[in-house]
Amino acid sequence: MDTTSFWSDTTPLQRFKKLDQDYHVDVVIIGAGITGVTAAYLLKKAGCKVALIERGRCGGFDTTNTTAHLTCVTDTRLSALAAKFGNPTAKATWEGGRAAIDQIVKNIHAEKISCDFTWVPGYYHAPLNGDAAKERRSLEAEAKLANDLGFAAEFLDSVPLVNQPGVKFLHQAKFNPLAYVAALLRTIPGNGSHVFEKTEAGKISDRPLSVTVGKHQIHCSYLFLATHTPLMGNTDPVSALLFQSKLFLYTSYAISTRIRPGSAPEASFWDTAEPYHYLRIDRHRDFDEAIFGGEDNKTGQIKNPAQPYRNLEKTLKKILPTFQADHQWSGQVVETPDGLPYMGETAPRQFVATGFGGNGMTFGTLGAMMAVDAFLKRKNPWAELFDVHRKPFHGGTGKYLRENKDYPYYLLRNWLGGARDQSVKSLKRNSGKVLHLQGRKVAAYRDPQGKLSLCSPVCTHLQCIVKWNDTEKTWDCPCHGSRFAATGEVLAGPAEKPLEKIDTKELAK
């Protein structure tokens, strides 16, 4: 089984050098997923100088792990958005997705990008194992509301392939996200703009505005924190923590395989289950590909990280009985209390865009467009709607409180627990475990060659104990969803510092 995404297997990405001197630019963008790359591309087109910095590989984390549906259909139903915020806001939210798809199309045409972009219908349907009769009425109402608000939608008694009632939305799309991002990345370096990989942002200073990277500084007049969970940057610590407490990190799982050409319609599908499943069928020259995802759960809290993949395969076999996954991977989605993303300034001259839910490609693109407008002091129609300081949570207070119960629970639970001393000798190759060694907890990992790495298991965000994820080979924090590589480096925030290293000679006896 290939445990990388379908895209990373089929799409080569250009490499960029590490930052090795001081620079002066207009805008520093931290994070080179679709959000950061799109912002860098648009800013350069507008005549600005940018430095795009990425701690790993550009497009190498969340963007490669998406299933890249391009849709204005949000995780929160249109009717739920309308009930919560009113019809104009519900409409504006979906229009944001539509504007993002238009921007992607514009970029593809401008740069002549080959990224398998395809317009497809999107089907929103009753779950495969749910009560279809119960869903029929609400789906009919959903189609009517969408039409009333100006979105082309049609209720269907039976959606193709899944044979469930649902809504057909026209003008949805899909593409290869890595091919798209790789093409935009190629346009950025030059004329005072730069892209750097393996370049981790350190201290961010306010006066003058600058980002420290090792011994070097990048001076700028604006900063865009385009990471999934924004870095603290120049936000004061209390406000930064408060903001982070409004972001809930979930892991979403995907599987894919080739299927018999023509055995399913080329389209996107999402069901109404909670959490929902999502499917896309792609036509290729010699084969069709089915990519199926869902089974979301809070990062770091699942007992058996292999189970979601098994569940996905079992569900998909109901409509594609011969499906046998050859790729499986996971990615993170960031949810918010009220279901709307946060896009705006968290400090003067510091823009963030996060909380995209399952709409990472579209809201990521929209966030980039908004960041560019903010820097260029242009009015943006979504600035108020997605404001990072909006209050209260538009009816999301219950969700906020529920989600934040995790922190005290896991903090206490993981710090307590048995304390009998163990030995690293029992640790198998290519596996990790939190062990008690000489009276302290240790995150121990043995690589496939047998080399041992020991770290403190204390998450550098707010001190919870991380948990080994044997499927992804990562340390995941159950409190706010930070993820660390097997050897302790940060893969995803809110943690900004790696797990503290422990000398193996000292403890590995």
Per CB under 6 A, 44 contacts ligand FES: no
| Minimal distance, residue 248 CB to ligand FES, in Å | 11
| SS3 state of residue 215 | coil
Considering beta carbons, is residue 69 or 461 the nearer one to ligand FES?
A: 461
Considering only residues 495, 499, 502, 508, which one is a binding residue for ligand FES as defined by CB under 6 A? 495
Considering only residues 141, 319, 462, 507, which one is a binding residue for ligand FES as defined by CB under 6 A? 462
For helices 360-375 and 34-45, angle between their N-to-C axes, nearest 10 degrees: 40
| Minimal distance, residue 486 CB to ligand FES, in Å | 17
| Minimal distance, residue 455 CB to ligand FES, in Å | 14
Considering only residues 217, 336, 494, 499, which one is a binding residue for ligand FES as defined by CB under 6 A? 494
Considering beta carbons, is residue 44 or 228 the nearer one to ligand FES?
A: 228
Considering beta carbons, is residue 23 or 484 the nearer one to ligand FES?
A: 484
**How many degrees, rounded to 5, is the angle at CA 63 between CA 70 and CA 468?**
130
Considering only residues 228, 433, 461, 467, which one is a binding residue for ligand FES as defined by CB under 6 A? 461
Considering beta carbons, is residue 158 or 463 the nearer one to ligand FES?
A: 463
Report the C-alpha gap between 26 and 226 in whole angstroms. 16
| Minimal distance, residue 460 CB to ligand FES, in Å | 8
| Minimal distance, residue 386 CB to ligand FES, in Å | 24
Considering beta carbons, is residue 77 or 480 the nearer one to ligand FES?
A: 480
Question: What token pair was written down for 28?
Answer: 């520093």
Considering beta carbons, is residue 34 or 466 the nearer one to ligand FES?
A: 466
Assess whether the previous peptide bond of 392 is cis (omega < 30° from 0): yes
Q: Specify the amino acid at residue 307.
A: Q
Considering beta carbons, is residue 370 or 465 the nearer one to ligand FES?
A: 465
Considering beta carbons, is residue 282 or 476 the nearer one to ligand FES?
A: 476
| Minimal distance, residue 482 CB to ligand FES, in Å | 4
Binding mask 21-40 for ligand FES (x = CB under 6 A): --------------------
Report the C-alpha gap between 254 and 332 in whole angstroms. 11
Question: What token pair was written down for 217?
Answer: 């500084």
User: How distant is the alpha carbon of residue 182 from its chain centre?
Assistant: 18
- The gap between the terminal CA atoms of the chain, to the nearest Å, is 35
Identify the CA nearest to 258 among candidates 283, 287, 230, 218.
Answer: 287
Considering beta carbons, is residue 97 or 481 the nearer one to ligand FES?
A: 481
Q: How many CA atoms lie within 13 A of 253 on its CB side?
A: 23
| Minimal distance, residue 306 CB to ligand FES, in Å | 23
Per CB under 6 A, 231 contacts ligand FES: no
Question: What token pair was written down for 294?
Answer: 């869902």
Summary count for the chain: helices (H), strands (E): 12, 27
| CB distance 218 to 228 below 8 Å | no
Q: What are phi and psi of 393, to 5 degrees?
A: -85, 35
| Minimal distance, residue 10 CB to ligand FES, in Å | 32
**H/E stretch holding 466:** none
Report the C-alpha gap between 43 and 368 in whole angstroms. 9
**Beta-carbon neighbour count of residue 188 at 10 Å?**
23
Per CB under 6 A, 234 contacts ligand FES: no
Dihedral angle sign, alpha carbons of residues 33, 38, 43, 44: positive
| Minimal distance, residue 494 CB to ligand FES, in Å | 5
Strand ranges in 69-117 using DSSP code E only, listed in sequence order: 69-70
Considering beta carbons, is residue 369 or 458 the nearer one to ligand FES?
A: 458
| Minimal distance, residue 232 CB to ligand FES, in Å | 13
Near ligand FES in 420-459, by CB under 6 A: 459
| Minimal distance, residue 414 CB to ligand FES, in Å | 10
Considering beta carbons, is residue 288 or 496 the nearer one to ligand FES?
A: 496
Instruction: State the number of binding residues for ligand FES (CB under 6 A).
Output: 12
Binding mask 471-490 for ligand FES (x = CB under 6 A): ------x-xxxx--------
**H/E stretch holding 402:** helix 397-404
Identify the CA nearest to 84 among candidates 404, 405, 402, 398.
Answer: 398
**How many degrees, rounded to 5, is the angle at CA 288 between CA 282 and CA 289?**
65
Give residues in contact with ligand FES (CB under 6 A). 459, 461-464, 477, 479-482, 494-495
